[in-house]
């Protein structure tokens, strides 16, 4: 009878007192993506977005105990993700979308609009402080953020990229250009087939980014917009924090205001009105 109990599948990973046996080697240090998604109780789409926001990437163990075509992560990274507050927000959004779809399926338009007005939102402030403990860390990691934000600022609105996201990128681009022009920190410019490369020195840190040429861009399905938008979500928050500090150091109010008349006439940089911050004198 004792041998029959030991041979049962649910008792194979248990020791003599009923506790789970500790895994050694790669099986103890790594975890597969399928198991990580099941442990966190999120969808694969939310898991990918959470990994991008937290800066967690797949790893390659020396011994692939579940096969060579499986994606692996550090077990400690998944344990770190399990305590992330964004998990609760993702679950709230999932429950919210389920309610909206149910209302739409019942043709209850008023109820669907009322639910949509209470859409759950979240902020990435704690992630920026966690990933970039100092202002210098955020400034040094700004190259990719600038390139991606300026790329999206030049795209037309489509079903892949909403118009609100493009407008936000255009606003951030204009604010950064206004700061560079105000402080006169632009050092080099190079024109290539890919776009226009810029290099500026901001508070002792060299920033290099590329802006695409002003041609009509056609969205294509060859690009994974979900992944790019997840990075964009992080980079928008990062650039907002960095620009607030840069403007504050110059004694300027952030965000800057726009001259509606000049903006309507097509002026881009000239429409930005830089004003001193309350209680400070502009540098």
Tell me: the pLDDT tens digits for 161-194? 889 999 999 999 999 999 999 999 999 999 999 8
User: Over 80: is that where the pLDDT of 253 sits?
Assistant: yes
141 CB-contact burial (10 Å; exposed 0-12 / middle 13-18 / buried 19+): middle
Give this prediction's pTM.
0.82
Name residue, tokens 């190259």. 143
Are residues 89 and 106 in contact, defined by beta-carbon separation less than 8 angstroms?
no
Q: What's the pLDDT score for residue 120?
A: 82
Write out the two tokens for 200: 């500026």
Contact 196, 211 (CB under 8 A): yes
- What average pLDDT does this structure show over 87-95? 87
Stretch (H or E) spanning 206: strand 205-211
Query: Mean pLDDT over residues 204-231, rounded?
Result: 86
- Cβ atoms of 258 and 273 within 8 Å: the answer is yes
The residue ranges of every structural domain in the chain are 13-84, 87-116, 133-250
Tokens of 259: 């001259």
CB 169 within 8 A of CB 150: yes
| 186 exposure class (CB count in 10 Å sphere: 0-12, 13-18, 19+) | middle
Q: In terms of C-beta distances under 8 Å and separation of at least 24 residues, what long-range contacts does 78-82 make, across chains too? A: 78/31, 78/36, 78/39, 78/40, 80/54, 80/56, 81/36, 81/40, 81/50, 81/51, 81/54, 81/56, 82/39, 82/40
Which pLDDT belongs to residue 139? 93
pLDDT of amino acid 145: 94
Reply yes or no on whether the pLDDT at 256 is more than 80: yes
Q: What is the mean pLDDT of the chain?
A: 85
Q: What angle do CA 227, 229, 233 make, to 5 degrees?
A: 120
Residue 127: predicted pLDDT: 92
Looking at per-residue pLDDT, the higher value among 28 and 42 belongs to 42
Q: How confident is the model at residue 91 (pLDDT cuts 50, 70, 90)?
A: confident
């Amino acid at each position: 009878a004792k041998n029959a109990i030991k041979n049962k599948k649910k008792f194979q990973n248990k020791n003599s007192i009923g506790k789970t046996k500790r895994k050694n080697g790669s099986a103890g240090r790594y975890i597969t993506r399928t198991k990580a998604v099941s442990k966190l109780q999120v969808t694969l789409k939310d898991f990918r977005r959470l990994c991008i926001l937290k800066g967690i990437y797949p790893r390659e163990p020396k011994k692939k105990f579940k096969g060579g075509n499986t994606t692996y992560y550090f077990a400690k990274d998944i344990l770190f993700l399990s305590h992330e507050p964004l998990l609760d927000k993702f679950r709230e959004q999932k429950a919210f979308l389920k309610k909206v779809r149910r209302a739409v399926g019942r043709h209850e338009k008023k109820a669907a609009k009322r639910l949509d007005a209470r859409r759950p939102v979240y902020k990435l402030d704690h992630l920026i402080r966690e990933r970039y403990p100092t202002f210098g860390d955020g400034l040094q990691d700004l190259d990719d953020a600038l390139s991606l934000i300026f790329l999206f600022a030049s795209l037309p609105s489509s079903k892949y990229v909403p118009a609100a996201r493009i407008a936000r990128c255009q606003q951030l681009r204009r604010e950064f250009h206004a700061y560079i022009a105000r402080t006169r920190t632009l050092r080099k410019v190079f024109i290539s087939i890919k776009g226009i490369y810029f290099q500026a020195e901001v508070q002792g840190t060299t920033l290099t980014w590329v802006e695409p040429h002003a041609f009509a861009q056609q969205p294509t399905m060859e690009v994974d917009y979900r992944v790019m938008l997840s990075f964009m979500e992080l980079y928008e928050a990062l650039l907002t924090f960095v620009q607030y500090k840069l403007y504050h150091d110059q004694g300027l109010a952030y965000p800057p205001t726009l001259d509606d008349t000049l903006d309507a006439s097509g002026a881009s940089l000239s429409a930005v009105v830089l004003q001193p911050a309350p209680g400070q004198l502009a540098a």
